[in-house]
């Protein structure tokens, strides 16, 4: 007879089965950037998302942005010594992260995650698909946060894409702060230092177009999200504007 407050399986009770250890994940992901780039359905989602964003007056959210976030997302994990598989998954998630805008801007992370799940569920291993959709669903600061290294890489890559080339109509620069800040950014570079484990967003801003203060006015939440994302990959986020470190 065991003590009433004793810890352990009571005598005679069935012993719970210990699940077999999960096999180690394979070296390569079951989906690649090339696979999603060549998929007509996913291409339609990206083109449609960009049309909706255009109609709503947002900056460019099409193939340029998708490819950029894919490539930077891959580099972040590759340079910080994560596995090739994780870097590939960040690449695919980065390419697809904004497809939910094809429906509406609100909750586009979550709707995008569901769209991608529906599209890829029969062709991608579940262990690869779930982190992809979690990264997509958590990439916006209003609705998510870095939930894995893959998710962190997508966030860092997405938020670093602030650039003049994203502005569709320069005539809006005077009346729209997002267009003005993007237009003022002449150079944008996400530098990943493997040894120091820092991820630095280096921006060159023409302050005759937009003051640095305006950048913070609209992007402070994003920068805080980047700081947390960098911590999720065991790194430190730095923001450097016109050569000056503003966030460290
Ligand atoms: Fe987004
Ligand atoms: Fe984006």
Domain ranges across the chain:
33-247
User: What pLDDT is attached to residue 9?
Assistant: 67
Region 144-157 average pLDDT? 97
Q: Nearest bound ligand to CA 112?
A: 1
Instruction: Say if residues 190 and 157 touch (Cβ distance below 8 Å).
Output: yes
Query: DSSP class of residue 10?
Result: P
User: What pLDDT is attached to residue 5?
Assistant: 62
Report the chain's mean pLDDT, rounded to a whole number: 92
pLDDT band at 4 (very low <50, low <70, confident <90, very high): low
> Ligand 1: distance of its center to the CA of 98 in Å?
5
> Ligand 2: distance of its center to the CA of 7 in Å?
50
Q: Nearest bound ligand to CA 109?
A: 1
> Ligand 2: distance of its center to the CA of 127 in Å?
24
> Ligand 1: distance of its center to the CA of 25 in Å?
29
> Ligand 2: distance of its center to the CA of 68 in Å?
10
Sheet holding 244-247, edge to edge: 185-193, 198-205, 236-241, 244-247
Instruction: Say if residues 96 and 42 touch (Cβ distance below 8 Å).
Output: yes
Instruction: State the pairing for strand pair 198-205/236-241.
Output: parallel
Which residues touch 217 (CB under 8 Å, ≥6 apart)?
177
Q: Nearest bound ligand to CA 66?
A: 2
Region 39-48 average pLDDT? 98
- Between CA 163 and CA 166 the distance in angstroms is 6
Q: Nearest bound ligand to CA 61?
A: 2
Region 202-211 average pLDDT? 92
> Ligand 1: distance of its center to the CA of 148 in Å?
17
| CATH numeric code, 33-247 | 1.10.3210
> Ligand 2: distance of its center to the CA of 60 in Å?
9
Region 189-201 average pLDDT? 97
Q: Nearest bound ligand to CA 136?
A: 1
pLDDT at 2 over 60: no
> Ligand 1: distance of its center to the CA of 9 in Å?
49
pLDDT at 178 over 90: no
Q: Nearest bound ligand to CA 107?
A: 1
Region 198-214 average pLDDT? 92
Region 229-238 average pLDDT? 98
User: What pLDDT is attached to residue 177?
Assistant: 87
> Ligand 1: distance of its center to the CA of 80 in Å?
24
Query: DSSP class of residue 61?
Result: -
Q: Nearest bound ligand to CA 100?
A: 1
**Please, which residues bridge with residue 193 across strands?**
198
Region 130-152 average pLDDT? 97
> Ligand 1: distance of its center to the CA of 140 in Å?
6
pLDDT band at 3 (very low <50, low <70, confident <90, very high): low
- Between CA 223 and CA 202 the distance in angstroms is 12
The mean-pLDDT minimum among 9-23, 93-107, 205-219 falls in 9-23
User: What pLDDT is attached to residue 168?
Assistant: 84
């Amino acid at each position: 007879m065991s003590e009433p407050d004793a810890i352990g399986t009571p005598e005679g009770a069935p012993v719970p089965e210990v699940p077999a250890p999960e096999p180690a994940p394979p070296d390569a992901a079951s989906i690649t950037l090339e696979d999603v780039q060549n998929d007509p359905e996913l291409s339609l989602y990206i083109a449609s998302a960009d049309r909706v964003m255009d109609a709503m007056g947002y900056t460019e959210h099409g193939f340029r942005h998708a490819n950029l976030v894919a490539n930077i997302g891959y580099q972040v994990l590759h340079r910080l010594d994560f596995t090739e598989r994780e870097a590939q998954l960040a690449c695919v998630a980065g390419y697809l992260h904004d497809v939910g805008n094809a429906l509406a801007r609100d909750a586009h992370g979550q709707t995008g995650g569901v769209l991608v799940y529906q599209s890829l569920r029969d062709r991608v291993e579940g262990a690869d698909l779930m982190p992809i959709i979690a990264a997509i669903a958590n990439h916006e600061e209003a609705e998510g946060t870095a939930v894995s290294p893959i998710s962190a890489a997508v966030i860092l890559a997405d938020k670093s894409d602030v650039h003049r080339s994203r502005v569709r109509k320069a005539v809006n620069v005077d009346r729209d702060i997002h267009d003005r800040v993007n237009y003022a950014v002449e150079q944008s570079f996400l530098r990943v230092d493997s040894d120091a484990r820092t991820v630095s967003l280096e921006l060159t801003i023409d302050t005759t177009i937009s003051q640095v203060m305006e950048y913070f006015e609209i992007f402070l939440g994003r920068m805080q999200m980047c700081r947390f994302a960098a911590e999720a990959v065991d790194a430190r986020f730095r923001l450097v504007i016109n050569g000056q470190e503003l966030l460290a």
